[in-house]
């Protein structure tokens, strides 16, 4: 089989990049502005994608989930909450199970579709997450970014060190470790990375570097058939710059505050709004011209 695959994935939440906090008002802008533009873009290129919704935004605005169904996109879970205290790297097994089961039920009740794919908020997981996913009835995880090396800029960095040794190609995980191959029931589809992650944030901050990155990833795919997995957020294509900024600081340690709250937040503000959408279309065009097939994570699992 010589087909090449590009899996475009989207994390849908109430995070405001401009304000650096979770805001219901941002969730409404995602519903009214970001999602329609993103869905129109996918329809323009006849692309089916996977949308990871937090249970919180799904409860708050059920229509945000319903609007992807007519287009054939996959509804997936992004956990119940994106609050930092609900990171899957710090919650107990029972807490993780509760969040996974509750978010699954919310999304299935709204969409009428079975939810089998998961991505952890901020990609934070621990040794219990694989167990919790299996117990909650999931089949796919996409929280690992193999060989990504910017984890010191984000929460949960100590666990994310394991990204460096995680397999690059999709794999069945160990029953108690998403970072390793094993005989478990969870299929890991890693987010693409070449030291830096192949995600919307990198694309907006370093657009020229991302051009090189996608070429390197495409060359790799030619040799080992690794699917390209891109992570994007519809909140990247909304514009809140006219609002007075009210940044919520995440860390109290000086160096963590410097990297995560100051430097990281400044960088993440680059090319928000329509610029982000134009850059995203450049990624799509690159893979279309190279005859990549676009599909959901669910469809990829079925195929292989």
For the chain, the first-to-last Cα distance in angstroms comes to 11
Name every residue whose Cβ is closer than 8 Å to that of residue 46 and which is 6 or more positions away in sequence. none
Q: Which residue has the higher pLDDT, 299 or 268?
A: 299
* CATH level 2 (architecture), domain 4-303: Alpha-Beta Barrel (3.20)
Whether 152 shows a pLDDT value over 90: the answer reads: no
**Cβ pair 202, 196 in contact under 8 A:** yes
DSSP structure class, residue 95: H
pLDDT of residue 87: 95
Question: pLDDT, tens digit, for every residue of 63-74?
Answer: 999 999 999 999
Helix (H, G, I), strand (E, B) or coil at 145: coil
Q: How many CB atoms within 10 Å of residue 33?
A: 16
**Alpha-carbon dihedral of residues 112, 12, 206, 247, nearest 10 degrees?**
180
pLDDT band at 151 (very low <50, low <70, confident <90, very high): low
- Weakest mean pLDDT among 60-74, 100-114, 157-171: 157-171
pLDDT of residue 243: 73
Rounded alpha-carbon distances, angstroms, from residue 124 to 54, 171, 235, 279: 14, 19, 20, 27
Average pLDDT value for residue range 95-114: 98
Burial class (CB in 10 A: 0-12, 13-18, 19+), 187: buried
Strand spans (E) along 190-286: 193-194, 196-197, 228-232
Selection from 234, 203, 275 nearest residue 36 by Cα: 234
Overall pTM surpassing 0.85 (yes/no): yes
pLDDT of residue 215: 98
CA 285 from centroid of its chain's CA atoms: 20
Question: pLDDT, tens digit, for every residue of 224-278?
Answer: 999 999 999 999 999 887 777 665 555 555 555 555 556 667 788 899 999 999 9
Name every residue whose Cβ is closer than 8 Å to that of residue 152 and which is 6 or more positions away in sequence. 259
CA 214 from centroid of its chain's CA atoms: 17
pLDDT of residue 254: 58
Selection from 87, 100, 47 nearest residue 71 by Cα: 47
pLDDT of residue 252: 55
Q: How far is residue 48's CA from residue 272's CA, in Å, rounded to a whole number?
A: 23
């Amino acid at each position: 089989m010589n087909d090449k695959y590009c899996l475009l994935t989207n994390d849908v939440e109430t995070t405001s990049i401009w304000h650096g906090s979770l805001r219901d008002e941002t969730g409404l802008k995602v519903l009214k502005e970001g999602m329609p533009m993103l869905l129109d873009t996918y329809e323009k290129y006849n692309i089916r994608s996977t949308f990871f919704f937090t249970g919180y935004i799904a409860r708050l605005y059920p229509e945000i989930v319903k609007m992807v169904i007519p287009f054939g996109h996959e509804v997936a879970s992004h956990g119940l909450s994106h609050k930092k205290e609900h990171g899957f790297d710090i919650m107990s097994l029972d807490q993780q199970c509760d969040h996974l089961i509750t978010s699954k039920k919310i999304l299935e009740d709204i969409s009428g579709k079975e939810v089998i794919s998961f991505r952890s908020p901020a990609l934070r997981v621990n040794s219990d997450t694989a167990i919790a996913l299996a117990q909650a009835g999931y089949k796919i995880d996409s929280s690992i970014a193999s060989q990504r090396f910017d984890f010191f800029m984000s929460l949960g960095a100590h666990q994310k060190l394991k990204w460096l040794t995680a397999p690059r190609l999709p794999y069945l995980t160990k029953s108690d470790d998403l970072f390793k191959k094993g005989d478990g029931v969870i299929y890991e589809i890693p987010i693409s990375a070449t030291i830096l992650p192949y995600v919307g944030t990198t694309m907006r901050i370093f657009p020229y570097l991302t051009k090189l990155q996608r070429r390197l990833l495409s060359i790799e795919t030619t040799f080992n058939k690794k699917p390209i997995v891109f992570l994007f957020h519809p909140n990247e294509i909304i514009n809140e710059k006219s609002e007075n900024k009210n940044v919520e600081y995440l860390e109290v340690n000086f160096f963590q505050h410097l990297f995560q709250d100051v430097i990281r937040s400044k960088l993440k503000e680059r090319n928000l709004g329509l610029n982000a959408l134009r850059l995203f279309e450049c990624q799509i065009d690159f893979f279309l011209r190279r005859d990549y097939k676009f599909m959901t994570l669910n469809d990829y699992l079925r195929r292989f």
